[in-house]
């Protein structure tokens, strides 16, 4: 599942050169006695207040009437450089889950198909007109390629701000309306191609480990109290501008490609409730949130008769905060790597509602 390897010393020297200040190594002992990069030594908020966030309010529609980026506008060269300094050990964690045509998916999204489009045998036998003439290809050099028929909401993903709409005008973030910006080829504002490359300090809130379970049971609501107690147990504090990832333990059952739908479904509906997410955004300043489930939020949502997915509406429509799903957090949990540099870049496919089948990484 989680992949972890050590980047060579030369790569670290190169990273230090890119940052212009060398490699900053600050080692504090965490709650479990492991040396960890100091949270105090990498803050962007202490000497450079995070742009756009206000305690008690969060983010919101504050970046101008044409904005399609939301809270990620607050990322700066300085904040990215500070996050990269957390990669003092050169360790990398693969946060992407392997997707195949058999993989588990949330209800309402189409299954994926990966179909061979060109194969060496087919090209040769069918004398494909796109292939080089045989008298010019005596070495019989051919290729594989595939056609994909796939939902833009599968496996490891980051929801775009147009993913969720609200109200009779079907508006999404920043007031973009379906009547003006919808279309037969996907939303034309706030699609996944507008999500910028993300380089930020990441924080793992390992609720499953704190509660001493392999994975939280189905429909478990993670409260703000659960988040605070887990962070205290970890010895970690969130800083404004952090990417916050909440672990339920669901991804431990993904296996090779998420084929055991029944086992995954036993845990996939656990997640933070609306109050907990408000605390992360408005009180702590999370610039993005995510988890190891297909939907992040608890399902069904308690106390929200007017909306089945109130956390999605709150984050994507009201706050402009992107939402990461099905992140593989098992390696981070195993190594108690609670703070790290989070890096993700989505597919730039116009009209897609989410950056899908991603491979984000955590560095420390």
The answer on 155 and 18 residing in a single domain is yes
Q: What share of the chain is helix, strand, coil (3-state, %, to 5)?
A: 25, 20, 55
The answer on 172 and 300 residing in a single domain is yes
Collect all residues with Cβ–Cβ distance below 8 Å to 283 and sequence separation of at least 6: 55, 56
The answer on 19 and 55 residing in a single domain is yes
What is the rounded CA–CA span in Å between residue 29 and residue 38?
9
What is the rounded CA–CA span in Å between residue 114 and residue 315?
32
The answer on 174 and 126 residing in a single domain is no
> In this prediction, what percent of the chain has a pLDDT beyond 70?
86
Average pLDDT, the chain: 86
What pLDDT, on a 0 to 100 scale, did the predictor assign at position 48? 60
The answer on 200 and 52 residing in a single domain is yes
φ and ψ at 202, to 5 degrees? -110, 145
- Residues 319-352 pLDDT 10s: 999 999 999 999 999 999 999 999 999 999 999 9
What pLDDT, on a 0 to 100 scale, did the predictor assign at position 21? 35
- Residues 101-137 pLDDT 10s: 888 777 777 778 888 999 999 988 888 888 888 888 8
The answer on 334 and 305 residing in a single domain is yes
Of the three residues 121, 149, 177, the one that is the final residue of a domain is 149
* Element of type H or E holding 227: helix 224-234
The answer on 169 and 144 residing in a single domain is no
Token pair of 77 as six digits: 């060269």
The answer on 184 and 132 residing in a single domain is no
Question: Is a pLDDT exceeding 70 seen at residue 36?
Answer: no
The answer on 11 and 129 residing in a single domain is no
Q: Identify whether the C-beta of residue 240 lies closer than 8 Å to the C-beta of residue 284.
A: yes
The answer on 196 and 56 residing in a single domain is yes
- Report, as an integer, the average pLDDT of 25-43: 36
Name the nearest CA neighbour of 205 among 296, 267, 308: 296
What pLDDT, on a 0 to 100 scale, did the predictor assign at position 130? 81
Token pair of 278 as six digits: 């408000």
* Axis crossing angle, helix 9-19 with helix 77-84, rounded to the nearest 10: 150
How deeply is 213 buried, as exposed, middle or buried, from its count of CB atoms within 10 A (0-12, 13-18, 19+)?
Answer: middle
- How many domains is the chain partitioned into structurally? 2
- Report, as an integer, the average pLDDT of 152-167: 93
Q: Report pTM.
A: 0.84
How deeply is 19 buried, as exposed, middle or buried, from its count of CB atoms within 10 A (0-12, 13-18, 19+)?
Answer: middle
Q: Identify whether the C-beta of residue 331 lies closer than 8 Å to the C-beta of residue 77.
A: no
Assign 6 to helix, strand or coil: strand
Helices of type H across 235-328? 261-265, 274-278, 310-312
DSSP state of 174: G
Query: Model confidence at 12, in pLDDT bands (50, 70, 90)?
Result: very low
Q: Identify whether the C-beta of residue 38 lies closer than 8 Å to the C-beta of residue 27.
A: yes
Which residue segment(s) compose the domain that 134 sits in?
Answer: 113-149
Query: Model confidence at 250, in pLDDT bands (50, 70, 90)?
Result: very high
Question: In which residue are the tokens 């607050």 written?
Answer: 74
What is the rounded CA–CA span in Å between residue 149 and residue 357?
13
What is the rounded CA–CA span in Å between residue 18 and residue 301?
45
The answer on 125 and 215 residing in a single domain is no
The answer on 120 and 215 residing in a single domain is no
What pLDDT, on a 0 to 100 scale, did the predictor assign at position 156? 94
CATH code, domain carrying 95? 3.50.30.50
């Amino acid at each position: 599942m989680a992949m972890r390897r050590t980047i060579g010393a030369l790569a670290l020297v190169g990273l230090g050169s890119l940052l212009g200040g060398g490699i900053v190594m600050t080692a504090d002992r965490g709650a479990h006695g492991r040396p960890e990069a100091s949270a105090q030594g990498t803050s962007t908020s202490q000497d450079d207040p995070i742009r756009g966030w206000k305690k008690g309010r969060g983010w919101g529609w504050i970046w101008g009437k044409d904005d399609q980026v939301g809270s990620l506008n607050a990322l700066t060269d300085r904040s990215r450089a500070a996050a990269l300094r957390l990669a003092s050990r050169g360790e990398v964690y693969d946060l992407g889950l392997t997707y195949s045509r058999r993989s588990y998916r949330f209800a309402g999204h189409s299954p994926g198909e990966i179909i061979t489009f060109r194969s060496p045998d087919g090209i040769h036998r069918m004398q494909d007109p796109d292939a080089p003439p045989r008298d010019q290809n005596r070495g019989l050099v051919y290729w594989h390629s595939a056609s994909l028929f796939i939902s833009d909401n599968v496996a490891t993903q980051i929801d775009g701000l147009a993913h969720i709409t609200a109200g009779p005008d079907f508006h999404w973030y920043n007031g973009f309306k379906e009547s003006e910006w919808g279309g037969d080829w996907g939303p034309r504002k706030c699609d996944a191609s507008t999500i910028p490359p993300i380089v930020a300090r990441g924080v793992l809130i390992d609720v499953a480990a704190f509660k001493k379970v392999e994975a939280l049971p189905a429909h478990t609501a993670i409260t703000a109290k659960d988040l605070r107690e887990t962070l205290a147990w970890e010895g970690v504090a969130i800083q404004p501008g952090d990417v916050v990832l909440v672990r339920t333990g669901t991804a431990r059952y993904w296996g090779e490609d998420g084929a055991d739908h029944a086992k995954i479904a036993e845990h996939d509906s656990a997640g933070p409730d609306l109050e907990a997410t408000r605390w992360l955004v408005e009180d702590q300043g999370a610039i993005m949130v995510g988890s190891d489930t297909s939907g992040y939020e608890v399902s069904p949502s308690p106390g929200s008769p007017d909306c089945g997915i109130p956390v999605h509406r709150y984050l994507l429509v009201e706050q402009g905060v992107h939402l990461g799903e099905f992140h593989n957090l098992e390696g981070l949990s195993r190594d108690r790597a609670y703070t790290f540099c989070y890096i993700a870049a989505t597919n730039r496919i116009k009209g897609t509602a989410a950056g899908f089948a991603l491979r984000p990484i955590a560095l420390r």
